[in-house]
Amino acid sequence: MEELDDVTVSVLNGSPPVSPRTSTPVVKKTLQLPSPPQYVIYTDTELELARKHHFEMACTGREGESAMSKELRCRLMSMYSYLQKRILNVKTPQKRQGPRPERSSSTKRRHIDFSLSDQGEDYDADSSGGSTIFLPPGSSSEDDRSVDKDSLATQARHYKTLQEMYKKPKPNQDAVCQILDLEFQARRAFIDSDILKEEDRLAKIFEAYPCFKDLHHVMDELRRILHKDNSKFLDEVKKRWADFSSMVQFYGVWRKVLKPPMSLGAVESNIALFRALPTLFPSQSAPPKKMGQASEALLHVLQPTEEPAIYLQKRTLFSPVLVFDGSRCLLAIGNTPVTTFAKEELGEGLLYLMGYYYTLHFTYPKCVATLLSVIQTEVLQDSIHERDTTGSYKRAMAEWNTFIKK
């Protein structure tokens, strides 16, 4: 019997015919990776090495030669963007400026010039006034605000660096000076503002800037405020003070307030000068009754049985003062002792007082306001506003100019 084929068997069984089987060709697929690869999986160690290599190349301007994957580039850019946002988000508190003596406000500052605004009829010429902000002509306020924001953010980082320096037992004083130069604008905005209560003012400033317990930094701050770019300013001030005090000695003898300086030693002569100055350049306001003489606002000479701590507790003026015990000088502010210096420097003690008046932004006591205004204009060569030229100041300057022109 003949063998039935598959079609015949399908018909006999009543099922549809089955077509003959054909083979399907197999297509092989291969994945072509780009060279260099677009994405690479890095271990942590490899990632750190790749970053280091890229930045080393970038430092020499050859970052284009660094074969970097897109993943690594994205990670680096994300890290940079994150850090940039963190830096730009650093803000210092915006504080209002408040009362202060009318002194120079460093007209050379680049963006903001702090100077006093006009006062109403109730203005007291022996006290200080408010302040306002002037933008340089032709400047864009939006651009200035943007630049100031970046500048203040940078200065905030400088201030943090300064704080870290003073956590060390002996901070590098040259480095401190450099940081104070860089952080000047933000610091003056903080100190000159009226956000600090009068009773907390000194403690808060010293807490923020312990460097100002050092006379060197105080006098350097005086230079920054008046002539920031003049490195010889303090030497020039000391020279003018020596000439001024020498002429005042003869002025005092002429006014019969001082004895001829030849009969006194250096220390005694300086003490006599301190006591005579408020008389030679008098103010309209009398000193507080408990204080006695107006010169007590400048210098107090301790009696042999007198304790400096007890004297300071009884002091009524919250202003800088020198306390001399015969061997050393103590500089105090209000009831708080700040620093000491040798008696040989007593002759420059009044300059130290002026340094603290400027640095800590104190108002002149009314009983010596005329004298300190004269030193401000004649020695520091810092002009005062017309409204601060009181009748007593004008009379004192007229008599002084008459004498020196003889």
Q: What are phi and psi of 194, to 5 degrees?
A: -100, 20
Q: What is the pLDDT of residue 197?
A: 78
Q: How many CA atoms lie within 13 A of 337 on its CB side?
A: 14
Q: Give the span between the Cα atoms of 371 and 296, in whole angstroms.
A: 13
Q: Give the span between the Cα atoms of 373 and 366, in whole angstroms.
A: 11
Bridge partners for 331 per DSSP: 322, 339
Q: What are phi and psi of 297, to 5 degrees?
A: -75, -15
Could you tell me if 371 and 277 are in contact, meaning their C-beta atoms sit under 8 angstroms apart?
yes
Q: 288 burial class (0-12, 13-18, 19+ CB within 10 angstroms)?
A: middle
Q: What is the pLDDT of residue 388?
A: 77
- Sequence-distant (≥ 6) Cβ neighbours of residue 299 within 8 angstroms: 271, 274, 275, 321, 322, 323, 324, 349
Q: What is the pLDDT of residue 66?
A: 65
β-bridge pairing 328-333 and 336-342: antiparallel
| Residue 14 amino acid letter | G
Tokens representing residue 247 in the block: 């002429």
| Angle (nearest 5°) at CA 315 between 311 and 321 | 85
Q: Give the span between the Cα atoms of 369 and 128, in whole angstroms.
A: 11
Q: 258 burial class (0-12, 13-18, 19+ CB within 10 angstroms)?
A: buried
Q: What is the C-alpha R_g of the chain?
A: 38
The Cβ of residue 345 has, within 10 Å, a number of other Cβ atoms equal to: 14
The DSSP line for 103-144 is ----TT-SS-EEEEPP--TT--TTS-B-EEEEPPTT--HHHH
3-state secondary structure 331-352: EEECCEEEEEEEHHHHHHHHHH
DSSP alpha helix (H) spans, 260-348 = 266-280, 308-314
The Cβ of residue 116 has, within 10 Å, a number of other Cβ atoms equal to: 21
| Residue 11 amino acid letter | V
Q: Give the span between the Cα atoms of 150 and 89, in whole angstroms.
A: 10
β-bridge pairing 328-333 and 320-324: antiparallel
Tokens representing residue 311 in the block: 């004297």
Tokens representing residue 192 in the block: 């000159």
Per-residue pLDDT tens listing for the chain (406 residues): 444 555 444 444 554 554 444 555 555 556 565 565 555 555 666 666 777 776 677 666 676 666 655 555 555 555 555 555 555 555 544 444 334 455 554 433 333 333 333 333 343 444 333 332 333 334 444 544 544 555 777 888 888 999 899 888 899 999 999 999 999 999 999 998 877 777 788 999 999 999 999 999 999 999 999 999 999 999 999 999 999 999 999 999 999 998 887 777 889 999 999 999 999 999 998 888 888 899 999 999 999 899 999 999 999 888 999 999 999 999 999 999 999 999 999 999 999 999 999 999 999 999 999 999 999 999 999 998 887 788 999 999 999 999 988 7
Q: Indicate the DSSP class of residue 168.
A: S
| Residue 210 amino acid letter | P
- Look at the alpha carbons of 240, 367, 193, 190 in this order and tell me if their dihedral is positive or negative: positive
Q: What is the pLDDT of residue 64?
A: 66
Stretch (H or E) spanning 320: strand 320-324
Q: Give the span between the Cα atoms of 315 and 219, in whole angstroms.
A: 25
Cis-peptide, bond into residue 93, ω within 30° of zero: no
The DSSP line for 385-404 is -GGG--HHHHHHHHHHHHHH
The Cβ of residue 265 has, within 10 Å, a number of other Cβ atoms equal to: 9
